[in-house]
C-alpha cells in the first residue's frame, strides 16, 4: 500500500523533480546451501560454567545429524553443523551470530543455550530473517510475542513453574514456599512464572532471596529464607550453587522440599549433589526437577531408545542425559521441516515447512505441532526426582 502510494507520488513528480525509486536487491535467501550441503550454525556455551549444556546440546544434535547424513542427508544434502563457543556470555552470542551468518554462511541457526544469550540473539535473528530452531530456555520474553523466525521446541518456564507449584500446593498441600533466584533475566523469568502460579492459588512466596550469578556463597540467602520456615524451596540457578544450597538447607534436622527448572542440567546437578556436596541419600527424594522432555533412560518410548543408541554411537564416553535428548529432538524437528521443504529450498520455505508441522509423532510420547501463530512445538512438563542411585527420573 505504501509502496503503491509512493510509486504513485513518484510518477506524479517524475517530470518535475526526477523522483527515482531505489530498492536494494532482495536478500539472498539461499545462503548456506549448495547442491550437496546445508550449513546449520550454532552458538552455545562450550566452555565455562554452562559448558555441559552447550556441549550436550551439540552432541545430541550431531548424533541425529550423523544418522541423517549416513542415510543420504536431507533432500540430497549433507547437514554440516558449525558450532561457535559463546561461554554463556551475551555479547559473544551476538558476535557469534554475526560470524555464523557472515563468515560461515549458515542457512539456519540452531541450539541456543540460555536466557540472556538467546535474548541477545533474537533481534539479530529477526533482522537477518534467518530461521532458528531450538532454544534451551523457557523464558516467556522469547515466546510472546511470537518472533517470526524463532521456533521453540520445549515448553515454557511458566509451564514448569505451574507444574511444580501444582505439585507442592495442590498435591502435597504445602503452605509456605520460598524462592531463591539468580539475579538476572533467567532468575526473573522463572520467578515471574512462580509468582503467577502461586497467585492463581491466592498465595505469595513466604520469602524471596537472590544471589549473583557464579556465586557459591549460599549461607546469606539461606539465612534470609529460613526464618519463614519454608516447607519447600523453589530455586532458580545453575547446578553448583543450587546443590550447595540444598546441602545447607537440608542440614540440622530440616527436611524441606526443593525444586528447580530444567535449565539446571539434571545430570550435572545430580553429580554435584551426590559427589561434591555429599547430600545424605535420605534427602534425595525431596529434590525435584521439572523436565520438558521425557527421561533419557526411558525404555518404552521408541524415540528415546533411538536417541540413546545414536548418542552412544556418536559419543561413546557420554552418558544419556536430558540436555542431549533435547538437542536430539530439536535437531529432528529441524530435519523433518527441511525434508518437508524439499530440495528447492530457501529460508522462507523452511519457515513455512516448520509452521506446517502438525501432530508429529517422533516417538517421545507427545506430539509436536507448530502453526503460523504458535512457535512452541511441545507442551507438557515431566516431574523428576533424585533416585537412590543418584539419577533424576520422571515419576
Partner 1 sequence: MNLGRKIVLSFIAVIVVFGSVSGFATSYLLDARMKHEVATSEVMFARSLSLRVFKQVRDHNAIQITDLLFDEQQLRPEKLEYLLVVDKAGKVLAHTFLSPIPQPIRDIAQGSLKTEASSIRAVDTPAVFVTDVAVPILEGIEPIGSVHVGLKGEYLDALKVDVKRLTLAAVIGVGLLATGIALFLARVIVRPLKSLTAVAVELSNANLDVKIPEVKTNDEIRDLAEAMRGVMAALSTLMAEIERQANPAQSGTSIPAAPQASEAE
Q: What residues contact 374, with CB distance under 8 A and at least 6 apart?
A: 146
Looking at beta carbons only, is 126 or 387 nearer to partner 1?
126
Q: Interface residues for partner 1 in 132-151 (CB under 8 A)? A: none
Size of the site for partner 1 (CB under 8 A): 30
Instruction: Give me the half-sphere count of Cα atoms (radius 13 Å) on the Cβ side of residue 243.
Output: 22
**Residue closest to 277 by CA, chosen among 224, 304, 239, 308:** 239
Q: Is 22 in the site for partner 1 (CB under 8 A)?
A: yes
Looking at beta carbons only, is 91 or 372 nearer to partner 1?
91
Q: Is 95 in the site for partner 1 (CB under 8 A)?
A: yes
Which of 9, 172, 204, 217 is close enough to bind partner 1 by CB under 8 A?
9
What is d(CA 88, CA 47) in angstroms, rounded to the nearest whole number?
8
What's the sign of the alpha-carbon dihedral 89, 92, 94, 97?
negative
Inter-residue contact 248 to 273 (CB < 8 Å): no
Which of 82, 94, 166, 196 is close enough to bind partner 1 by CB under 8 A?
94
What is d(CA 74, CA 156) in angstroms, rounded to the nearest whole number?
29
Question: What track of x and - describes contact with partner 1 for positions 54 through 83 (by CB under 8 A)?
Answer: ------------------------------
* Cell numbers linked to 98: 554475526
Inter-residue contact 271 to 245 (CB < 8 Å): no
Q: Interface residues for partner 1 in 99-118 (CB under 8 A)? A: 101-102
Q: Is 124 in the site for partner 1 (CB under 8 A)?
A: yes
Q: Is 368 in the site for partner 1 (CB under 8 A)?
A: no
Q: Is 17 in the site for partner 1 (CB under 8 A)?
A: yes
Looking at beta carbons only, is 130 or 161 nearer to partner 1?
130
Inter-residue contact 381 to 290 (CB < 8 Å): yes
- List residues binding partner 1 (CB under 8 A): 6, 9-10, 12-13, 16-17, 19, 21-25, 27-28, 31, 90-92, 94-95, 97-98, 101-102, 123-124, 127-128, 130
Amino acid at each position: 500500500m505504501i509502496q503503491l502510494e509512493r510509486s504513485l507520488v513518484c510518477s506524479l513528480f517524475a517530470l518535475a523533480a526526477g523522483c527515482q525509486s531505489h530498492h536494494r536487491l532482495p536478500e539472498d535467501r539461499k545462503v548456506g546451501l549448495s547442491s550437496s550441503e546445508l550449513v546449520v550454525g550454532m552458538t552455545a556455551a562450550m566452555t565455562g560454567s554452562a559448558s555441559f549444556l552447550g556441549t550436550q546440546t551439540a552432541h545430541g544434535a550431531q548424533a541425529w545429524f550423523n544418522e541423517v547424513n549416513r542415510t543420504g542427508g536431507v533432500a540430497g544434502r549433507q547437514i554440516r553443523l558449525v558450532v561457535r563457543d559463546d561461554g554463556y556470555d551475551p555479547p559473544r552470542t551476538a558476535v557469534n551470530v554475526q560470524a555464523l551468518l557472515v563468515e560461515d554462511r549458515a542457512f539456519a541457526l540452531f541450539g541456543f543455550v540460555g536466557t540472556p544469550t538467546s535474548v541477545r540473539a533474537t533481534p539479530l535473528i529477526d533482522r537477518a530473517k534467518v530461521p532458528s530452531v531450538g532454544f534451551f530456555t523457557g523464558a516467556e520474553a522469547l515466546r510472546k510475542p511470537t518472533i517470526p523466525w524463532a521456533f521453540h521446541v520445549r515448553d515454557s518456564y511458566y509451564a514448569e513453574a505451574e507444574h511444580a507449584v501444582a505439585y507442592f500446593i495442590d498435591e502435597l498441600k504445602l503452605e509456605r514456599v520460598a524462592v531463591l533466584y539468580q539475579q538476572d533475566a533467567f532468575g526473573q523469568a522463572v520467578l515471574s512464572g512462580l509468582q503467577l502460579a502461586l497467585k492463581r492459588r491466592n498465595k505469595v512466596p513466604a520469602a524471596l532471596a537472590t544471589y549473583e550469578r557464579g556465586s557459591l556463597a549460599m549461607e546469606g540467602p539461606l539465612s534470609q529464607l529460613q526464618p519463614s520456615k519454608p516447607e519447600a524451596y523453589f530455586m532458580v540457578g545453575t547446578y553448583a550453587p543450587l546443590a550447595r544450597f540444598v546441602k545447607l538447607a537440608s542440614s540440622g534436622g530440616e527436611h524441606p522440599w526443593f525444586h528447580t527448572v530444567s535449565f539446571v542440567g539434571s545430570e550435572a546437578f545430580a553429580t554435584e549433589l551426590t559427589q561434591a556436596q555429599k547430600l545424605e541419600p535420605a534427602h534425595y527424594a525431596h529434590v525435584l526437577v521439572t523436565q520438558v522432555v521425557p527421561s533419557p533412560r526411558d525404555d518404552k518410548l521408541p524415540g528415546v531408545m533411538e536417541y540413546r543408541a545414536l548418542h552412544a554411537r556418536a559419543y561413546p564416553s557420554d552418558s544419556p542425559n536430558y540436555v542431549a535428548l533435547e538437542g536430539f529432538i530439536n535437531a529432528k524437528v529441524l530435519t523433518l521441516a527441511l525434508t518437508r521443504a524439499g530440495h528447492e529450498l530457501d529460508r522462507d520455505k523452511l519457515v513455512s515447512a516448520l509452521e506446517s508441522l502438525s501432530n508429529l509423532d517422533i516417538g517421545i510420547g507427545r506430539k509436536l505441532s507448530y502453526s503460523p501463530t504458535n512457535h512452541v512445538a511441545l507442551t507438557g512438563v515431566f516431574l523428576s526426582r533424585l533416585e537412590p542411585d543418584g539419577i533424576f527420573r520422571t515419576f
